[in-house]
Amino acid sequence: MNRNVLRARYFAGAALAVGLALAGCGGNNTPAGGGDTQAAPLSGAVAIDGSSTVEPLTSAAADLFKETQAGVNVTVGTSGTGGGFEKFCKGETDISDASRKINDKEKTACETGNVKWTELQVANDALTVAVHKDNTWAKCLTVAQLKKIWEPAAQGKITNWNQVDPSFPNEPLKLFSPGTDSGTFDYFTAAINGKEGDSRQDATFSENDNVLVQGVSSTKGGLGYFGFSYFEENQSNLKAVEVDSGAGCVAPSLDSAQSGNYKPLARPLFIYVKQASMTKPQVKGFVEFYVTKIDEIVKEAAFVPLNATQKSALTAAWETLKSS
C-alpha cells in the first residue's frame, strides 16, 4: 500500500471525524430567560408566513412562546401578505400574517384548496408619514395633498414642496416608498390614491424599511411612509406628519391608532388561522398563547395594541375557534 493511498485515507477519515463532531455539538438551545412551564411539553412545527409588517409581532410571540415550550419549532416567513395567503390557501402554512383583510380572490382560492380559516385581529398599525426632523413646514397634510404628492400624475411634475402648497418653502421634494410588493405599499396607495398599486414611479423604492428611514432622516426635503414601529424606533431623527382626512389634523400615536381616529392610515393587523391545524396541539398551544398574552407580545414588539372592543372581539373569535 503506497504512502499516498494511506495519506488519502487519513485525510478522508479526519474530515469525516471533524464533520461528525461539528454536527454532534448542536442542540444547545438555551432559551432566553426562564419560563413558567404550566402545560405539558409540546413538540412539532408551526409554519407561519405572510406580511413583513406583522412579522416582528409574530416573531416576538414565537420568542415568548419558546420560553415555555422550547420543543416547538415556529418558523415565520416574510413572503408578503399576498404571498402568504397563496401558501395558506394551498394548505402549506398553519397561520398567515396579514396587514389587510383577505380579498375575494384569496377567499376563492382558499375554498378551492379546502382551507377553512378564522380571522383574528391582533394589533393596530399607524402607517406613519415621516419627514426630516428639520422640516418645519409640513406639520399637517391633508389627504388631498398627500394624493397630490403620490398619485401617478405627479410623476415628474410635483418635485418641490412649494408645489404642494404655495406657503411651503422652495425645497426639493424627495420621496421614499416601500417596495411594490409590500402590503404597506398596497394599503397606502389604496387609501390615499384610491387604487391599490396606483403610485408615481419616480420615488426611491426599497423593500427594506430601514433604508427608507435612513433616506428620510438624511434628506432635508424627504418624505416617506412606513409602519409605526419603524418611526418609533427612529423618533429622534424623524418627524411624523399629522394627517387631516376632513376632521382635523391627527398625529399617529398609540391612541389615535387604537381608537381609529388616525384616518385613513390606521390599519388593523391580522393573523389568519387554518381551522384544520387546530388539531395539532402545538399550533393550538401557540395560537392560545398568542391570543391570551397579546398585550405582553404587543408591548415586546413595540406595536400598537388593540383597544377594548377589539380585544373582546378577539377573545370571542378565539373561543369560537377553540371549540370548533
Partner 1 sequence: MTAQDVRLDTGTRVSDHGLALTRRKVRVGDAVFKLALQTCFLIGFAVLAALLTWVIYKGWNRLDPRLWTNMPVRRISQIDRAGVQSAIMGTVWVISLTAVICLPIGVLSAIYLEEYADRNRWYNRILELNIQNLAGVPSIVFGILGLGIVARRFGLGFTVITAAIILSLLVLPVVIIATREAIRAVPQSIRQASYALGATKWQTVSRQVLPSAVPGIATGSILALSRAIGEAAPLVVLGAVTYITFNPDGIKSSYTVLPIQIYQFISLPQEGYKDLAAAAIVLLLGIVILMNSVAIFLRNKFQKRW
Partner 2 sequence: MTSSTTTVDPAAGNTLRRDRPRLVDATVRVLLVAASLVSVATTVGIVVALVEPAIEFFGEINFTRFLTEKSWGPQFATPSYGIVPLLVATVEITLIALIIAIPLGLGSAIYLAEYASNRTRKVLKPILELLAGVPTVVYGFIALAALSPLLRDNVPGFAGLEFQNMLVAGVAMGIMIVPTIASISEDAMAAVPHSLREGAYALASSKMQVATRVVVPAAVSGIVAAIVLGISRAIGETMIVTIAGGLSSDHPEFNPLHGAATMTAYIAAIAQGDVPVGTVDYNSIFAVGVVLFALTFVLNAFSIRLVRKFREVYE
Alpha-carbon distance 229 to 209, whole Å?
10
The answer to whether the CB of 192 falls within 8 A of the CB of 146 is yes
The answer to whether the CB of 101 falls within 8 A of the CB of 270 is yes
Query: Among partner 1, partner 2, none, what does residue 242 contact (CB within 5–8 Å per kind)?
Result: none
Alpha-carbon distance 47 to 108, whole Å?
22
Tell me how far the alpha carbon of residue 271 is from its chain's centroid.
11
Alpha-carbon distance 189 to 181, whole Å?
12
Minimal distance in Å, beta carbon 77 to partner 1? 4
Query: Among partner 2, partner 1, none, what does residue 82 contact (CB within 5–8 Å per kind)?
Result: partner 2
Alpha-carbon distance 93 to 113, whole Å?
12
Lookup result for grid cell 409588517 = 53
Residues near partner 2, by CB under 8 A = 78-84, 86, 152, 155, 179-183, 189, 195-199, 201-208, 211, 214-215, 218-219
Query: Among partner 1, partner 2, none, what does residue 28 contact (CB within 5–8 Å per kind)?
Result: partner 1
Which is closer to partner 2, CB of 56 or CB of 84? Answer: 84
Contact between 74 and partner 1 per CB under 8 A: yes
Contact between 29 and partner 1 per CB under 8 A: yes
Tell me how far the alpha carbon of residue 217 is from its chain's centroid.
21
Nearest one of 234, 132, 130 to 184, comparing CA atoms: 130
Contact between 246 and partner 1 per CB under 8 A: no
Minimal distance in Å, beta carbon 301 to partner 1? 7
Contact between 230 and partner 1 per CB under 8 A: yes
Choosing from 42, 66, 216, 223, the residue that interacts with partner 1 (CB under 8 A) is 66
Other beta carbons within 10 angstroms of residue 250's beta carbon come to: 21
Which residues on adjacent β-strands are paired with residue 119?
A: 272
- Number of residues in contact with partner 1, rule: CB under 8 A? 46
Choosing from 79, 184, 189, 256, the residue that interacts with partner 1 (CB under 8 A) is 79
List interacting residues with partner 1 (CB under 8 A).
Answer: 2, 4-5, 7-8, 11, 19, 22-23, 26-33, 45, 49, 55-56, 59-60, 62-64, 66, 73-79, 207-210, 213, 229-230, 233-234, 300-302
